[in-house]
Amino acid sequence: MINLSVIIPAYNCEKYIGRCIESILKQNYNSLEIICINDGSEDKTLNILNDYANKYNNIKLINKKNAGVSKARNDGIKEACGKYIMFVDADDVIKKDSLNNIDSILEKNYDLIRYNYEIDFGNNKKVIQLYPKSQEMSKEDFIDKIVNTGYMNSVWTTLYNKEFLEKYNIKFDSDYIMGEDLVFNIEVYTNLNKGYYYNKTIYKYIENQNSVSYNYELEKVKRKIENTNKVYKLLIEKLKKENITDKQEEKLYFKLFSMLEWEIKNIVYVKGINLKTKMNYIKKYSIFLECDKKIKNNFKIKLLKNKLYLVYILLYTLKNKRC
């Protein structure tokens, strides 16, 4: 049996998909397969993937119409033969020789194995580490990290036991336009029996400044606000069933407020509508008020700072006649 299935959704990534695949092929580790899902690419991505699939027996290629990253990953999970599943984004890489000696951990049959990752901003690099040393982790440990850190959202930080995913029918939900990783992980963490933290840096997240540009169209901004609210409300609802404390719930609501503030301020930059209309849309998302009720005294100062920042953005925009 293959130990590891590496799933790579690929959409219009001709510039870096080769780098990603090469980083996996060059691992000093043989018990793996690579599953590439071409999600309706319009550039030369499919040609590159075909070349790799024809050259290497351990590379499988799924070619499909564009349906989004969630459906692509679900197709990869169905095709996977490995005991564990690893998700890799097409513009990222696996660190050199980082999978050495991992079999001794895989054979213990944990529900998941969490590892370190490096963030590469070009001039700046940072390794994200949960603990000083490797250790077993309980459901409560993972929930504590969700509440107290911002490092538990992404799926490329973790190896997932395929039998565990199948047992609880855990899949990616394509209804979410963003935050699909966190929604997936909510299901994972709340069904977890026993996990493991492997204190080794395996994954390298590469910030690609040219890959994403924010589109300030009103409908898209509104959908992102609503989606953010939906994701974090689901997170809070699920974790309340795990008997989190009032303080933990409070922290989660502050996270929700912070995320909403980040998205709502983008209404300011939408072109084609006047300031009054923008202010009305901001007021419409009265979820701020609900967050206020949930956030108590120890977060009031931070909350006020966020609100003042939003006002500042509006005033700055008026001053520079960007409305």
Q: Show pLDDT as tens, one digit a residue, over the chain (323 residues).
A: 799 999 999 999 999 999 999 999 999 999 999 999 999 999 999 999 999 999 999 999 999 999 999 999 999 999 999 999 999 999 999 999 999 999 999 999 999 999 999 999 888 899 999 999 999 999 999 999 999 998 899 999 999 999 999 999 999 999 998 899 999 999 999 999 999 999 999 999 998 755 444 567 888 888 888 898 899 999 999 999 999 998 898 889 888 877 887 787 788 788 888 877 877 887 777 665 566 666 665 555 565 556 655 655 665 565 565 54
Instruction: Determine contact, residues 252/300, Cβ cutoff 8 Å.
Output: no
Alpha carbon dihedral 220, 226, 231, 232, in 10-degree steps, equals 130
pLDDT at 211: 47
pLDDT at 139: 95
Instruction: Determine contact, residues 201/118, Cβ cutoff 8 Å.
Output: yes
pLDDT at 42: 97
Structural domains of the chain sorted by starting position, each given as residue range(s) with its CATH number in brackets: 4-206 (3.90.550.10), 218-319 (no CATH)
pLDDT at 212: 44
pLDDT digits (tens, 9 = 90+) for 192-203: 999 999 999 999
Cα–Cα distances (Å) from 241 to 234, 238, 249, in that order, read 11, 5, 11
pLDDT at 138: 96
Alpha carbon distance 3, 100 (integer Å): 13
